[in-house]
Every structure is written in structure tokens, then in C-alpha cells.
Amino acid sequence: MTIGIDNLSEAAVPAAGSWAGHLAEWTARRLEPVVIGLGAILIGLVLFSLFILALGKSPLLLFQLMYTGGFASWFSIQNSLSRAAPLLLTALCVALPARLGLVVIGGEGALALGGVAAAAAALPLAHLLPPVPTLAGIALAAMLAGGIWIGCVGALRHYRGVNETISSLLMSYIAIAVMNQLIEGPLRDPASLNKPSTLPLPADYLIGPLPGMDVHWGFAIGIATCVLSYLLIETTTWGFAARVAGGNTRAAEVQGLPVGRLIVGFTALAGACAGLAGMIEVAAVQGSANGSLIAGYGYTGILVAFLARHNPLAIIPVAILIGGIDASGGLIQRRMGLPDATVLVLQGTLFVVILACETLYGRFKPFNPDLWKRDL
């Protein structure tokens, strides 16, 4: 098993030493990914600079533009955060099953189904209920749809031995087909002429922006879900059991852990996250379910999850980083005359280097928690 899951031993470190020792140990452990991550980004940027130089363009100008476009002003920051919002949830769709050692790559389909379920549920609910309960209701519908879909992947894995990677991919394509069939067939709003869509949500039922910001509430929901997922994995017995089962299924079964329920539960939860992402796209961005839901968020989420080493908290900065690179991509096209693929090359270079640098974990002495335990 080689998925980047933190060592089990981490959870089993004995409580010992003074609080200063604890602090140093804690800092050392938390600092390692930050330093290695930033170092890797630096190496990636240098490599990408060579590429840009080879094209006869100025890498300095490019990085300046990236900073301007992604992070330099309040507008740019909000731009980055808006783009990061759906990735937080689709990344969780990969990160949660990864705790059990499962590689689920079908978030795109769960997102599509979640979006359609949300739009379909909105029609009756909006007649009966005020906005907030309606939104809660359609969020539930979306999470159910996504949860059942990816939960099936988990169930197939455990009860039929069907590989989850291939089944989630296949089911993703099927889900997108179902979505298209529904929004161009039974759920189509006849008034949606050239862009087949479901009936739109009433304007006052849409998810609005965060107070004082131009970023919709979906971003906050995404952050909250990441934090909750972190707590689930790190602090609950379910999370602990999942990590044990992820380490060794056979051993977990021998120990009497409910591996089947864990697998179905975690995959269903993962699907619920992607379904929620679909609901937010419908209720905060699109206003209805339509083909624009298929924008690759599910696939980008895979990348985000692997870069975050399947740690739900780490997903937050990684998603914002990708959002920022995407946000600045436009400026690079407009100001430097480079094609949009420049950003893909940059992302590819960065991600390969960041992931390759995982080999450096544990190589630098100052980051070794044991060292600090001994010293203090």
C-alpha cells in the first residue's frame, strides 16, 4: 500500500516529556510538510522559468502577473477563493476513501448527480419552504444522490471485490450520461432554449456571497467540511478504525473492525461531499442544473487530494493555490500572449516536483520529532 497516508505510528506516539518538548515535537512534525512543500514549489518554479526563458519570454514578468492575478489585490484573492471553492469538496471525495486505501476517481459523476438531484428537489421544496430550509433540503438530496452513487462503489468493492478505481470511473461516465439525459429530457425547462437546463431556482433561493465578500457561501461550506472531515479522521474512533483498516484490511478484519461498514460509510461520505459540490454549483453559481456542471472539478479534485497527501486540512491551502494559479492564468494569456496551456504546464511541473519531493520526508534531521523528544 503506497497511498500517501501518514504513518499509523503517528497516532500511537506515547505522551511523554514536557510541554516544551511537546511543542517542539509538534512544530517539527507540522513544519516538515510546509518547508518541503514550499521548497518543492520553489524548485518547480525554477524549472518552469527555464521553460519560459526557452520561449524567449520573461519568467519574472510571468510570476509578477501570477501574483497580480492570483493574490495581489482583494479582487484577485476573491477570484482565487471562488475558483477554489468546488475543489475543496471534490478533493474530499478522493481524500476520505484514501484513508481506507481506496483510490476513487469518480467525483465528477457524483458532482453531476448531486447537481441534478438538487435542482430536481428544488422544484417542490421551493413551493413549500422558505429559502434556508429549502437549501438544506436540496443539499441533503444532493448529498444522498452523490453518497449513494459513490457508496455503491464502496459496496461493490467490499461485497463483490470490484476494483473501486475502475468502477468509480465507469460510474462517473454513466452519471454524466444520466445527468444529460435528465436535463435534456424530463427535467428540461422548456424556456431554456439553446442551453438545456432544469427550471431555475427562484432568485431569493440562491446561495449568496459571504458577508463583505464576493465569494459565495460554498467556499465557507467547503472549508467547514474539510475541518469536519479532519476531525472525523483524527479524533473519532471511526476515523481511527478507518486508518487501521487502510493500513491492512485483513488485520482489521481479524481485529473485528467492521471493514465493510467502514468502506461503504467512507465512500458514501466522499460521494456526499462531491454531491454537495454539485448542489453548490447549482444553487450558488449556475442557478439551475445544466451541462456547464461538467467543468472538470471532479478530476482536479483528484490532484488536489494527492497533493494534500489526503489530509483534509491540507486540502484547503492546496485548493487555494490551484485556484490562484487558475485565476492568474487569464492574465498570463492576456498580457504575455501565451496560450492557456501555459498554466497547465506550470501546474504539471509544480505537481510533479511537489509529489516527487515527498521522498524528502524524514530525510532532514531537524524535522524528526524523536530528536526533539530526546533533546528536551
Partner 1 sequence: MFDRLSLNRRRFLKTTTAGLLFGAVPGLVSGRARAADGLTVGFVYVGPKDDYGYNQAHAEGAAAVKALDGVTVVEEENVPETVDVQKTMESMINLDGATLLFPTSFGYFDPHVLAVAAKYPDTQFRHCGGLWQAGKHPENVGSYFGYIHQGQYLNGIAAGYATKSKKIGFVAAKPIPQVLQNINAFLLGARSVDPAITCQVIFTGEWSLAVKEAEAVNALVDQGADVITCHVDSPKVVVQTAAGRGAFVCGYHANQSPLAPDKYLTGAEWAWGNVYTDFAKKALAGEKLGNFVRGGLKDGFVKMSPLGPAVSTEARNTFEATLAEIMKTKYSVFKGPLKDNKGNEVIAAGAAYSEDAIELESMAYLVDGVVGSAS
Partner 2 sequence: MESTAIGLWGIPLAILAGAIRVSTPFIFVSLGETITERSGRINLGLEGTLVFGAMTAYAIAVVTGSPWLGVAGAMAAGASFGLIHGFICRWPKVNDIAIGIAMMQFGLGLAFFLGKPYIQPAAPHLPSIPFGFWSGLPQIQAALDINVLFLIGAALTFALRWVLANTRIGLTLRVVGDSTDAARAMGIDPHRVRLVATAVGGAFAAVGGAYLSLYYPGAWNEGISSGQGLMAVALVIFARWNPVGCFLAALLFGGAGALGPALQSVGVTSGYYLFYAAPYALTLVIMIATSSPNRPVPGMPGALSLTK
Task: Give me the residues that bind partner 2 (CB under 8 A), please.
Answer: 1-4, 101, 103, 156, 158-163, 165-167, 169-171, 173-174, 177-178, 180-181, 184-185, 249, 302-303, 306-307, 339-349, 351-352, 354-356, 358-359, 361-362
Alpha helices in the chain (DSSP H): 19-54, 59-67, 74-98, 107-128, 131-155, 164-184, 217-235, 237-247, 249-254, 259-280, 297-307, 312-336, 341-356, 369-375
Smallest distance, Å, CB 251 to partner 2? Answer: 12
Instruction: State the maximum Cα–Cα separation within the chain, in Å, rounded to a whole number.
Output: 72
Indicate whether 114 belongs to the interface with partner 1 (CB under 8 A): no
Distance between CA 157 and CA 260 in Å, rounded? Answer: 9
Q: What is the identity of the amino acid at 176?
A: I
Name the residue with cell 422548456: 190
- By CB under 8 A, name the one of 124, 130, 208, 339 that touches partner 1: 339
Asked whether position 212 contacts partner 1 by CB under 8 A, the answer is yes
Residue 331 partner contact from partner 1, partner 2, none using kind-dependent CB cut-offs of 5 to 8 Å: partner 1
Q: For residues 114 and 145, give the distance between their C-alpha atoms in angstroms, rounded to a whole number.
A: 6
Give the Cα separation of 57 and 75 in Å (integer).
Answer: 26
Residue 10 sits in the site that holds partner 1 (CB under 8 A)? no
The answer to whether residues 336 and 61 touch, using CB atoms and an 8 Å cutoff, is yes
Instruction: Pick the binder of partner 1 from 7, 27, 73, 255 (CB under 8 A).
Output: 73
Residue among 281, 298, 301, 304 that touches partner 1 (CB under 8 A): 281
Residue 103 or 336 having the CB closest to partner 1: 336
Contact footprint for partner 1 (CB under 8 A): 61, 64-65, 68-69, 72-76, 79, 82-83, 85, 180, 184-185, 190, 193-196, 212-214, 216, 281, 285-287, 290-292, 295-296, 326-327, 330-331, 333-337, 339-340
